[in-house]
Amino acid sequence: MRTGAAHDSLRVEFGARSYSILIGRGLLRDPATWADIPPATCAAVVTNETVSALYAEAVLSALTPLFRRTLVIALPDGEGHKDWSTLNTIFDRLLDAGCDRKSILIALGGGVVGDLTGFAAACFMRGIGFVQVPTTLLAQVDSSVGGKTGINHPRGKNMIGAFHQPLRVVADTDTLMSLPQRELVAGLAEVIKYGAIADDGFTTWLDTNLERLLKRDDEALRYAIRRSCEIKSGIIERDERESGIREILNFGHTFGHAIEAGLGFGKWLHGEAVGCGMVMAADLSRRLGRIASGDVDRLVSLVHRTGLPISVGSIGCETILDLMRGDKKARGGQIRFVVLESPGHAAVDSAPDDMVRDAVSAHIS
């Protein structure tokens, strides 16, 4: 990690596909952010209608001197548009503009935009480069890093996709100043996850500095983003395609994805569902005898203090179980869960249906 007055820079090592994560203020408007991106005939900024009005002009003004052609593709906003139809909209615009396999895409937005753009880049002309420019906390600490891209299917979240690493990740903390508080809180769910699975000292820091984060203190946000990215990059470098240790990054997500699908995509933000999912997963860990009740209470308290939901209504326990059985991480219908073995340590395991049912039922209001 290199730290300077302007920004922090963390390197994700994948050999010839290695890339940097830049973290700091003013990065979108800084020409140095974009200067050494590989040459391309066309740079297309893929964003949504909300983010486009805030930041597309700044990104375009930085990109225009570097590329022969630039364009903006502004998509409808929301998880409900993370589908084939929206993906084809991106392809149509690229083809209409005459973009070729030497083009690059710039994913300017939150996790939905990043996943869609990354998947479009993986598919267009059999694969082109893209840059992640996450504008939400959740995307800066999680979805923009690691190369997971994809779209939703009516029967499950991110069921269709590809692993496609970005050329760079640009996490400009200035974009967090315009973020609705609900979105900021949702992003903190993924931050909490990293402490729970990999660094109990980070959990202690979060417990102490939560108010600073909620008030958008830049120093606190920058540290939380940097530490989250350090933890995630250390894991994905060892397991790019989720065949082993990378699975622990899904702590709370098996429950969370089922909650999202059961409520209807978009009713809860992804981070809200993950927050409640972590509570269920911690409860299951306790029932399996992996972790003490006091450690579960500590995590639940942090999730609750952050402003994330710790229970869900309007959805039945059996619905959640059925959706989890169809999760893409299930094996032969056997649900696989990330459970906590101790604070800061996680593993993947299965559990009896009755035990899972009890863990879910305890958090249905």
Closest listed residue to residue 142, CA positions, set 33, 271, 265: 271
Extract the tokens encoding 118. Answer: 């990354």
Active-site option among 82, 222, 246, 287? 246
Catalytic-role residue among 25, 82, 193, 257: 257
Spell out the long-range contacts of 97-101 with Cβ–Cβ below 8 A and sequence spacing 24 or more.
97/42, 97/44, 97/69, 97/71, 98/42, 98/69, 99/41, 99/42, 99/44, 99/69, 99/124, 100/41, 100/42, 100/125, 101/125, 101/126, 101/127, 101/128
Lowest mean pLDDT among 223-237, 270-284, 294-308, 318-332: 318-332
Average pLDDT (113-130) is: 98
Our answer to whether residue 246 is catalytic in this structure is yes
> What is the C-alpha to C-alpha distance for residues 204 and 154, in angstroms, rounded to an integer?
39
158 an active-site residue? no
242 labelled catalytic: yes
Q: Which of 193, 227, 250, 272 is catalytic?
A: 250
- pLDDT tens string 173-228: 999 999 999 999 999 999 999 999 999 999 999 999 999 999 999 999 999 999 99
Residue 7 falls in the annotated catalytic set: no
Catalytic residue among 226, 253, 290, 298: 253
Asked if the model's pLDDT at residue 119 lies above 50, the reply is yes
190 annotated active-site: yes
Residues 356-363: what's their mean pLDDT?
Answer: 97
Domains of the chain by start residue, with CATH = 2-178 (3.40.50.1970), 181-361 (1.20.1090.10)
Share of the chain above pLDDT 90, in %: 85
Q: Give residue 277's pLDDT.
A: 98
* CB-neighbour burial class of residue 365 (10 A; exposed 0-12, middle 13-18, buried 19+): exposed
Examine the residue annotation and report whether 345 is marked as an active-site residue of this protein: no
pLDDT(2) > 90: no
Indicate if the pLDDT at residue 263 is higher than 60.
Answer: yes
CB of 49 closer than 8 Å to CB of 41: no
Catalytic residue at 79?
A: no
pTM of the predicted structure, to 2 decimals = 0.93
pLDDT on residue 6: 65
Which pLDDT value is given to residue 4?
42
Phi, then psi, of 99 in degrees rounded to 5: -70, 145
Whole-number pLDDT of residue 1:
43
| pLDDT single digits (tens) 288-303 | 999 999 999 999 999 9
- Is residue 233 scored above 90 in pLDDT? yes
pLDDT category of residue 156 using cuts at 50, 70 and 90: confident
pLDDT of res. 328? 66
Quick one: average pLDDT of 132-160?
A: 93
pLDDT at residue number 5: 42
Report residue 271's pLDDT band, with 50, 70 and 90 as the boundaries.
very high
What's the DSSP call for residue 76? P
Among 183, 230, 242, 272, which one carries the catalytic annotation?
242
* Catalytic residue of the set 148, 168, 286, 287: 148
